[in-house]
Structure 1
Amino acid sequence: MPQLDTSTWFIMIISMILTLFILFQLKISKYNYPHNTGPTMKLSHKTITPWAKKWTKIYLPLSLYQQL
């Protein structure tokens, strides 16, 4: 049986890694990163729900004393 020629494997692997590195760098360089990386102050708008203003019976047993 003939022997497998592995003399060109090193060059092929190195060129493949270099090509993948260049392709990934090109992909990453097309991404737009935000310019301002500092913390931003955002105003939070609190939504008012109909049940937020109501007093419900759920809280009644916890707030009253225990009746025996």
Structure 2
Amino acid sequence: MPQLDTSTWLITILSMMITLFIIFQLKTLSHQFPANPQSSHLEQTKQKTPWEKKWTKIYSPLS
């Protein structure tokens, strides 16, 4: 039974990883990201929930 030749696996795996890295870099370069993400002010409206309106006591578990 012939043995499996694994001498080219290293070159194949390394070239595949380099190719995937280059493709990923090219994909991310095509996107336009905002220069300063904190500059946009989003108004967050806080909605009152029923449990915030009344006083509740939190009991600690018995030790």
Same fold (TM over 0.5): yes
**1:23 maps to what in 2?**
23
Tell me the TM-score normalized by structure 1.
0.55
**1:12 maps to what in 2?**
12
Aligned equivalents of 2:42 and 2:14: distance in 1? 49
CA, structure 1 residues 3+33, in 2 after alignment: closer, same or farther (shift >3 Å)? same
Instruction: Name stretches of at least 5 consecutive residues in structure 1 with no aligned partner.
Output: 45-68
The percentage of counterpart residues that share the same residue type is 52
Instruction: Name stretches of at least 5 consecutive residues in structure 2 with no aligned partner.
Output: 45-63
Aligned equivalents of 2:25 and 2:11: distance in 1? 21
SS at match of 2:35: coil
How many residues are matched?
Answer: 44
Tell me the TM-score normalized by structure 2.
0.59
CA, structure 1 residues 36+4, in 2 after alignment: closer, same or farther (shift >3 Å)? same
Q: Which has the larger radius of gyration?
A: 1
